Amino acid sequence: MPKMSERERLAKIENDQKKLAEEAETVRRTLRQGYGAICTDLAVERLSEREFREVVSQAIRLGGAATISALKAQASPPGKTQTAPERRPGDEHGGAARRRPATDQVAASPGDGPVL
Model-level pTM? 0.52
Burial category of 94 from C-beta neighbours within 10 Å (exposed 0-12, middle 13-18, buried 19 and up): exposed
Residues 1 and 29 in one domain: yes
Residues 64 and 31 in one domain: no
Whole-number Å distance between alpha carbons of 29 and 25: 6
Residues 17 and 51 in one domain: no
The C-alpha angle 35, 38, 41, rounded to 5 degrees, equals 160
DSSP state of 103: -
pLDDT tens per residue across all 116 residues of the chain: 688 899 999 999 999 999 999 999 999 999 999 999 999 999 999 999 999 999 999 999 999 899 999 999 988 666 555 555 555 555 555 555 555 555 555 555 556 555 55
Domain presence at residue 65: yes
Residue range of the domain that includes 19: 1-42
Domain presence at residue 34: yes
